[in-house]
């Protein structure tokens, strides 16, 4: 067992056993009673030959989470586990996962997975909260180990320190690449710049985006202190182009939670008008006479992600990722598409009543014939106004046509990206396309008037043309079969 694993295993032992722990089967009952957490007892029968670091992380996370929810004992059991060396080893492990796609297959291990990164991130945060409370209660007693850990973590990626923010408290400034200070108006009393060779001029938005991934609190600071003059269109345009490049650089190295956090930041930038993403009509067969303003964020987000993959799949970036890396970015993209689908469908009203259902009195009165003795010109004008009002009410009350249009754009963009990615056989994108078609079919069934037979025929032809670009014949056949089921039930 290597020293790092010994430290992880030692998190469940007394301090004098930290660096050279004996077999876990030899742990005395008193050790477990000191921990006072029954969940950890499962480790008693695990020998060091079968030591599983990830299992230990899961158990450590569960133990710390229980203490966060309940009143922690005093003194805290983790104080018997040399918490500062443990924090450093956890930070080292987390730092290794940040370079998961830059390591060869021979160098990779089970701790380099994205799931493990999520777990390490959570454990660091929980343990940092626990020790932060201890440091705040007796700062003079913990000053030496605190400064020792801060200096040791300096050797790691600069973002690692932010995961230990609950531990640092107000003892240290927030240290970020100097280039970030060029795009963010951050107060000097709380922030300072780091001269990092990999963050030269023009990398401020990259550092800004990486900060947005770390935590909700740090993201809020980045959004509120972003330096951008929205009154200058050229500034917004340059910012949007720079953000596109930074997003392309950041996406492959995001975990799922970081990606979800980053999507929230992008939506906030769009809603606030700071991020400009023009919606193109490259996948529009005809100009839709629809009000798509309520779905502008989803449509622009889909176009933005399409542009990201166009850069990522381009000749200058296509060699960045391994096969596992491409699978990972595919999963992240599919997650974003599902979020957009959920957001769009959440705005659908309740399906209309069946034809057999009795009409309301308002509905009956709205189609009454005008009286014959009234002015014919006024009658014609009145009828036109009623018809227009009826159509507007239908559009405003049941935006099913708009939802179908948005789903069609999502489908086309997913297909475009699947064709671009190396191999063009991403299973996760294939399943995402099937899911979009299923939602499309469900909306057509729930709202029969949303699509006429002629429109559904055009849609099937259009989707089939898009799907023809796939190289994988099995995927193509399944999608074509699903597309053939998009038949309108309108009378």
Contacts of 150 (CB under 8 A, 6+ apart): 161, 168, 171, 172
Q: Residue 175 pairs with which residues in a beta bridge?
A: 192
Does any domain span residue 357? Answer: no
pLDDT value of position 284? 82
pLDDT value of position 362? 41
**Are 142 and 236 members of one domain?**
no
Residue 237: both structure tokens together? 């345009």
Q: Among 150, 172, 194, give the residue marking a domain's end.
A: 172
**Are 244 and 340 members of one domain?**
no
Q: Among 272, 292, 327, give the residue marking a domain's end.
A: 272
pTM of the model: 0.80
pLDDT value of position 319? 81
Give how many domains the chain has, as a whole number: 3
Query: What whole-number distance in Å separates Cα of residue 251 and Cα of residue 248?
Result: 6
pLDDT value of position 281? 79
Residue 49: both structure tokens together? 């030959």
Does any domain span residue 356? Answer: no
CA dihedral sign, ordered 116, 122, 126, 128: positive
pLDDT value of position 134? 86
**Are 454 and 427 members of one domain?**
yes
Does any domain span residue 376? Answer: no
Q: Among 172, 187, 205, give the residue marking a domain's end.
A: 172
Residue 472: both structure tokens together? 């994988």
Using the structure block, give the residue that is written with the tokens 């390591």: 103
Query: In which residue ranges of the chain is pLDDT below 50?
Result: 1, 5-50, 106-111, 357-398, 491
pLDDT value of position 213? 96
Q: Work out the angle at residue 238's Cα, subtended by the Cα atoms of residues 236 and 240, and round it to the nearest 5 degrees.
A: 65
Q: What is the DSSP string of 153-172?
A: HTTS-TTGGGGGHHHHTTSS
**Are 298 and 329 members of one domain?**
yes
**Are 236 and 285 members of one domain?**
no
**Are 37 and 163 members of one domain?**
yes
pLDDT value of position 452? 87
**Are 294 and 184 members of one domain?**
no
**Are 343 and 405 members of one domain?**
yes
Does any domain span residue 373? Answer: no
Q: What SS3 state is found at 154?
A: coil
Does any domain span residue 321? Answer: yes
Among 190, 172, 193, which Cα is nearest to 182's? Answer: 193
Query: What whole-number distance in Å separates Cα of residue 97 and Cα of residue 416?
Result: 30
**Are 298 and 262 members of one domain?**
no
Does any domain span residue 367? Answer: no
**Are 486 and 412 members of one domain?**
yes
**Are 164 and 303 members of one domain?**
no
Helix (H) or strand (E) holding 418: helix 400-420
pLDDT value of position 218? 96
Does any domain span residue 375? Answer: no
Query: What whole-number distance in Å separates Cα of residue 178 and Cα of residue 182?
Result: 7
Does any domain span residue 366? Answer: no
Query: What whole-number distance in Å separates Cα of residue 60 and Cα of residue 270?
Result: 39
**Are 152 and 64 members of one domain?**
yes
- For 137-196, what is each residue's pLDDT tens digit? 888 888 898 999 999 999 999 999 999 999 998 889 999 999 999 999 999 999 999 999
Range of the domain at 392: 277-348+386-491
pLDDT value of position 354? 60
């Amino acid at each position: 067992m290597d020293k790092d694993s010994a430290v992880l295993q030692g998190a469940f032992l007394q301090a004098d056993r930290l660096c050279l722990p004996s077999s876990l089967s030899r742990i005395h009952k008193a050790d477990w009673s000191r921990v006072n957490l029954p969940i950890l007892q499962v480790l008693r029968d695990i020998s060091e030959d079968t030591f599983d670091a990830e299992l230990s992380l899961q158990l450590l996370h569960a133990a710390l989470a229980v203490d966060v929810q309940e009143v922690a004992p005093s003194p805290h059991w983790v104080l018997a586990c040399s918490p500062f060396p443990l924090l450093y080893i956890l930070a080292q492990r987390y730092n290794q996962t940040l370079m998961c796609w830059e390591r060869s297959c021979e160098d990779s291990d089970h701790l380099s997975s994205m799931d493990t990164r999520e777990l390490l991130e959570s454990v660091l945060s929980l343990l940092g909260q626990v020790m932060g409370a201890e440091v705040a209660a007796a700062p003079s007693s913990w000053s030496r180990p605190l400064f020792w850990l801060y200096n040791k973590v300096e050797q790691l990626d600069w973002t690692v320190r932010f995961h230990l923010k609950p531990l640092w408290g107000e003892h240290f400034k927030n240290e970020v690449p100097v280039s970030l200070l060029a795009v963010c108006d951050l107060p000097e009393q709380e922030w300072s710049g780091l001269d990092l060779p990999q963050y030269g001029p023009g990398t401020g938005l990259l550092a800004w985006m990486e900060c947005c991934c770390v935590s909700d609190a740090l993201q809020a600071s980045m959004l509120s202190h972003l330096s951008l003059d929205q009154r200058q269109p050229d500034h917004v345009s340059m910012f949007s182009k720079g953000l596109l490049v930074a997003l392309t650089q950041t996406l492959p190295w995001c975990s799922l939670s970081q990606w979800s956090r980053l999507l929230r930041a992008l939506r906030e930038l769009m809603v606030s008008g700071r991020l400009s993403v023009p919606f193109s009509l490259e996948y529009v067969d005809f100009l839709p006479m629809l009000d798509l303003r309520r779905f502008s964020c989803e449509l622009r987000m889909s176009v933005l992600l399409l542009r990201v993959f166009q850069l990522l799949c381009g000749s200058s970036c296509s060699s960045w990722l391994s096969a596992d890396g491409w699978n990972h970015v595919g999963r992240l993209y599919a997650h974003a598409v599902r979020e957009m689908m959920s957001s769009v469908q959440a705005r659908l009203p309740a399906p209309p009543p069946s034809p057999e259902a009795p009409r309301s009195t308002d509905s009956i009165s709205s189609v009454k014939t005008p009286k014959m003795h009234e002015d014919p010109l006024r009658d014609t004008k009145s009828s036109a106004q009623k018809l227009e009002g009826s159509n507007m009410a239908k559009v405003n009350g049941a935006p099913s046509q708009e939802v179908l249009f948005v789903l069609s754009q999502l489908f086309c963009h997913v297909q475009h990206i699947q064709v671009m990615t190396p191999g063009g056989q991403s299973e996760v994108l294939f399943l995402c396309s099937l899911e979009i078609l299923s939602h499309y079919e469900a909306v057509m069934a729930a709202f029969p008037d949303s699509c006429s037979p002629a429109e559904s025929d055009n849609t099937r032809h259009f989707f089939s043309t898009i799907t023809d670009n796939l190289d994988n014949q099995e995927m193509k056949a399944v999608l074509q079969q699903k597309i053939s089921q998009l038949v309108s039930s309108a009378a």
